Structure formats: structure tokens, C-alpha cells
Chains A and B, each alone.
Chain A
Amino acid sequence: MKFAIIVYETAADFAKRNDPEQAPAYWGAYAAYSKALTEAGIARGGAGLLPPSTAVTLRLRGDKRTVQDGPFAETKEMLGGIFLIEVPDQATALEWAARCPSATTGSVEVRAELPPIPQG
């Protein structure tokens, strides 16, 4: 089964990315985690994302269009990236989620992949 390990980070986590003192440990932890997923043979893709401040959010409602700088909603924990993994069950997915660095600072959401959309 494929699962998304969805990384939610705090503002302090995002700040570590560019802090000369904390950046090496921050990136080192994610590099090590990502590598551990690969070595275990379960990595199936994913992406790290630039901070929410760089986001642009748009909504189209009839003839009304709004385009807004920043994320859809300001929250305490914000999407930082996604890992896709393939493991036998949810229990194993949770084990791997616990190893994700944001588990001890922000949070990690685990969701199973949607089954194929039924065709016509």
C-alpha cells in the first residue's frame, strides 16, 4: 500500500532552514530520513516545499477570481513537504512517520493512497 507521509512544520522549523547555526542539523536530519526510506526500499517519491510565505492561492467562483499571496489559511503548523512510501500496512507507515524529524517538533500526517478512480 502506498502512503503519504505529510510533513507539517512550525514557523521555528521553517526558520531553521536559513539559520546558519541550525541549518546543517535541519537539512542533515531530512537527508538522513530520506536516505533511510530509500535504503529500506520503500521510498516512492515526494517533494520538499518552499515555505508557505512563497505560496500563491487562487480561487475561481463564477466570474469572480481572487488571487492571494500566501497560503490558503494561516495555521500554527504548515505543510513543509511530502514523502510517498510503499509499505504493507498502516502500522508500518506509522512506524516510519515517527522517524520523520517533524514528528518531534510539528506533526506528521499519514494517509493512504486513494484506490484507482473507477473508469466510466
Chain B
Amino acid sequence: MAEGHESPPRGDARAARAAELAARDSYGRLLARLAVRTRDIESAEDALADAFAAALQQWPLAGVPDNPEGWLVHVAKRRLTDSARHRAVRATVEPALVVEEELARSSRRETIEDDRLAMLFLCAHPAIDPAVRAPLMLQLVLGLDAARIAGAFLVAPASMSQRLVRAKQRLRETGLCFDHLDADESDSRLRDVLEAIYAAYGTGWDEAEGAESSVGGLRQEALWLARLVCQAREHSGEARGLLALLLSCESRQPARRNAAGEYVPLERQNPEDWDRQLYLEAEAVLASAATRITTPLPGRFQLEAAIQSVHTRRAVVGTTDWVTIVQLYLGLMQVAPSVGAAVAHAAALSRAYGPRAGLDALHGIPSQAIASYQPYWAVLAHVQQALDLPEAVASRERAIGLTTSAAIRAYLQGRP
């Protein structure tokens, strides 16, 4: 295995991270293929576990092998000793591993279709609790362990493992449906897949607010899944919308903190600090989605990506077109109503038409929806202050009490 390694320079965290993602990429591909062939996810996971652990350990140091999947299959076969734990696994998975090894040797890997999409669709099966779909995808397609996923989703590790095990049992009981979906079913399942990927990205976003994590939570993983779906479903405007949205958000990452580590809200970010390569890619992806809209209203992710695109345009024209943003949020509230969209719409209204318009919109949001919703109180405090209302103080205090981010807490406390 020594030849053909691309050794990353020592201490290069980015290269190590890329090698880790390559290991996850190969693992997900292989697991999906084995699971589709053997119809037994848990045995396939079990068979690959040792090999994958070895890859996670070795690749970031030694580099990614030329034939990553061949490497994994080779190690997996060697490690499948005849222990009691492995006897059953061997019986189901070994024949598939042999086939894999043949394929890997013949190096005609591109002829094999990608089963990971089938796996993603399976994870979004209607029989699976929506809350566990994203964690399941992260585990089955990227091999993340339950503890890491639990941290990102702010769940106790024991509860997360239990939920994942239960979800896999559920898949087994219902009989694996890797089968073909009809067009309607496929569309609604795709929406669920995209929602789950977005949820995974959201945890990475929240995590980055709190922790000083240089790897950025699960954002890279989510972005990677979005690319995967986009490649496999290139006709889907929504898949492109999601990818464009995530790329836009990602492009702002370097600008969200100043040199002192303090929080910088989007409107005060210097567009020079945005990652140009990422937002240009976002623009290109979104533009290609626009030509694929078949329904009268664009979907949720295309609208959200379009909103981000308007913000991005500030890099060129120097100002933000808030009137357009208000319109886009109105559309978003129509296709995918949520308290987040309502609050963001109110914030945009106050920019476009003055704080009074924003305040009226905020007052129109049902009170039970916003009791613990931090952004509502932050926006409310902002417009109340702009109107010189004394209630601003209490609203800001509520926003401070509800944030999980030290930087946002300090930002809100620092305001007069």
C-alpha cells in the first residue's frame, strides 16, 4: 500500500480533514453497495467497521490510497476473522466483499452506479422518524459515530445510539426499500432528503456559533451530501437550490467573526471577507437551477438561495436590495411557512420600509411560536430600539438569555 500515496504536509489540518472526508466517501460508497447487495445494513456496517477505523486513522497521516475502496475491501476481508461476532456477518457479507474485490482489481469502478443515493432515500423513508433521518444519513453515508452526531444535534450520546439502532431495526422490519420509486413518491422523498441535509448543516452552523471548532461542526459533511444529491439528481431545481444555499452560507464563514473573535451580523460584514470562490459557485449553481424550474413557484431551497444571492450582490453593487428580499421571504412563507421565515421577513421589512413595518409584522407572529425562539427577541429588540421604545431593554435581555453563543451574547450585551 506504500506506493501512490499523496502524503499531506505534516501538521496540515486541511489535508488531514480532506483525507478524513475521502475515507468517509469511500466508506459510504462501499457500505451502500454492500447493503444494497446483501439487504442487511447492520452486517455490512459490522463488516466494514474495523477497516473504516483503520482508514480514519491512517489516511490523514499517510495520505489517501490510489484505490480507496479496494483498500477498504482488502482490510475488511482480512479482519473478518471467524469470531462469534463475525460468523453471521461473514455469511451475509463476505460473498459481496469478494465481488467488490474483483471489481476493485479490475479498476473499472466508474461502471458501478452510485448506491449512496438509494441509501439517502432509504434514510428518508416515511417509516423513519423525521428527527432521526439526518443522523441516520450521517452515520450510514459518512460513517460518523453516534457520539459525534449526538454532540452536533445536542442529544445525549446514549439516546442518539438508541435512536439510530431503532431506526435501523425499523428499516429491517419494513423490509429494505431500495426499490424504484415512482415520480411523485421520488419527488416527495427527495424533499425529505434535502430537508435532512439542511438540518445537518444547521447543526454545524449553531455549533460554530458556540465552539471555536476549526472544522465547523457538520457543515462540511452536509455540503458534501448536498453535492452528492445534486450530481445524482441534476434535473432537480431544489437540489441545486440547497447546494447554492449552503455554498452561500459557507462563503460568509470567514466574515462572521472579526479579528477579535467578535460576532459580526451579515449586514455589517465586509464583502471582501466573504469567500469569493464559494459565492461565485453558489451563483452559478443557482443560475442553473433557475432554468430548471417546472412548477409555478420555485421551491423552498431555491427561494432561500435567491435571498442569499441578493445579499451576495452587495459585494458588487455595494447596497442590499431589501425590497426584493421582502418579496422572496413572502414567497418562502407561502411554500414553506416557519417561524424562522416569519421573523426574517419582519427583519427585512424593517430594513425596506422602516422599523414600524417590522414591529407590526413581529406582533403578528403567534406568541407560542416565539417563546424560546432567540432570533425573534433579537430582531424585536432591534426594531424597538430603532423606535426608541423602552421595551427594547427587556427584549434584548430575553435574547441574551436564550442564546447558546458566547459571541452573540457578548454582542447583544455590548450594545447601548
A→B interface (CB under 8 Å): 25, 28-29, 31-37, 39-40, 90-91, 94-95, 98-99, 101, 103-105
Give, as a whole number of angstroms, the nearest-CB distance from A24 to chain B.
Answer: 8
A5 to chain B, nearest CB (A): 13
Max count, chain A CB within 10 A of own CB: residue among B159, B401, B410, B413: B401
The residues of A that contact B402 with a CB separation of less than 8 Å are 36, 99
How far apart sit A1 and B393, CA to CA, in the bound complex (Å)?
A: 32
Are B397 and A104 in contact, CB atoms less than 8 angstroms apart? no
- Give B241 Cβ to nearest chain A Cβ, in Å: 29
A31 CA to B400 CA, complexed, in Å: 9
B371 x A101 contact (CB < 8 A) = no
Nearest-neighbor residue (CB-CB) of A93 within chain B: B156
The answer for the CA separation of A25 and B159 in the assembled complex, in Å, is: 35
Tell me whether B372 and A40 are in contact (CB under 8 A). yes
Q: How far is the CB of A10 from chain B (nearest CB, A)?
A: 13
Cβ of B156 and Cβ of A101 under 8 Å apart?
no
A33 to B398, CA, bound (A): 8
Contacts of A91 in B (CB 8 A): 154-155, 159
CA distance A28 to B397 in the complex (A): 8
Nearest neighbor of B372 in chain A, beta-carbon distance: A40
Asked whether, in the complex, the Cβ of B397 is within 8 Å of the Cβ of A32, the reply is yes
* Known A90-B159, A104-B405; contact A28-B371, beta-carbon cutoff 8 A: no
Which B-chain residue is minimally distant from A25 (CB atoms)?
A: B413
Starting from the known contacts A90-B156, A104-B406, A105-B406, 20 additional A-B residue pairs (CB-CB under 8 Å) come to A28-B397, A29-B400, A29-B409, A31-B397, A32-B398, A32-B401, A34-B401, A35-B397, A39-B371, A40-B372, A91-B159, A95-B154, A95-B372, A98-B154, A98-B404, A99-B404, A101-B406, A104-B210, A104-B404, A104-B405
Residues of A contacting B156 with CB < 8 Å?
Answer: 90, 94
On whether the beta carbons of A29 and B413 are closer than 8 Å, the reply is: yes
Looking at the assembled complex, report how far the CB atom of B46 sits from the nearest CB atom of chain A, in whole angstroms: 29
In the complex, what's the smallest C-beta–C-beta distance from A98 to chain B, in angstroms? 4
Are the CB atoms of B409 and A101 closer together than 8 Å? Answer: yes
B403: Cβ under 8 A from any A Cβ: yes
Which residue from B154, B155, B401, B410 sits with its C-beta under 8 Å from A25? B410
Contact assessment for B154 and A94 in the assembled complex, using a CB-CB cutoff below 8 Å? yes
Describe B's contact surface by its main secondary structure.
helix
- Minimal Cβ-Cβ distance residue in B for A34: B401
Q: Which residues of B contact A105 (CB under 8 A)?
A: 406
Give B410's nearest chain A residue, CB to CB: A25
List, sorted by A's number, 8 A–B pairs whose CB atoms are closer than 8 Å: A29-B413, A32-B397, A33-B400, A33-B401, A36-B372, A94-B155, A101-B406, A104-B211
Query: CA of A38 to CA of B161 in the docked complex: distance in angstroms?
Result: 33
Interface pairs A-B: 6 shortest CB-CB: A36-B401, A32-B401, A32-B400, A104-B406, A98-B404, A33-B401
Contact B398 A36 (CB under 8 A): yes
Closest to A28 in B: B413
The chain B residue sitting closest to A100, CB to CB, is: B404
Taken together as a complex, chains A and B put the C-alpha atoms of A90 and B401 apart, in Å, by 20
Q: What residues on B are CB-neighbors of A25 within 8 Å? A: 410, 413
Per-position contact with A for B201-218: 1 when CB-CB < 8 Å, else 0? 000000000110000000
Complex-state Cα separation, A77 to B410, whole angstroms: 22
Of B156, B398, B409, most buried by chain A (CB within 10 Å of CB) is: B409
Instruction: State A94–B371 Cα separation when bound (angstroms).
Output: 17
Docked pose: A31 CA to B398 CA in angstroms: 10
A94 to B410, CA, bound (A): 22
C-alpha gap A69/B289 in the complex (Å): 69
Judge whether B401 and A99 touch: CB under 8 Å: yes
Measured CA separation A84–B161 after assembly (Å): 27
State in angstroms the CA–CA spacing of A29 and B406 once bound together. Answer: 10
Residues of B within 8 A of A28 (CB): 397, 400, 413
User: A95–B371 Cα gap in the complex (Å)?
Assistant: 14
**Complex contacts, B401 vs chain A, CB 8 Å:** 32-37, 39, 99
Shortest Cβ gap from A102 to chain B (Å) = 10
> Given the known A-B contacts A25-B413, A39-B371, are A99 and B155 also in contact in the complex, defined by CB atoms under 8 Å?
no
Residues of A within 8 A of B155 (CB): 91, 94
- Docked complex: B140-163 residues within 8 A CB-CB of A: 154-156, 159
Docked complex: B364-416 residues within 8 A CB-CB of A: 371-372, 397-398, 400-406, 409-410, 413
Q: Are B371 and A40 neighbours in the complex by a CB distance under 8 Å?
A: yes
Shortest distance between the CB of B141 and any CB in chain A (Å): 24
B-side contacts of A39, CB under 8 Å: 371, 398, 401
A31-B397, A40-B371, A90-B159 known; A99-B403 Cβ under 8 A: yes
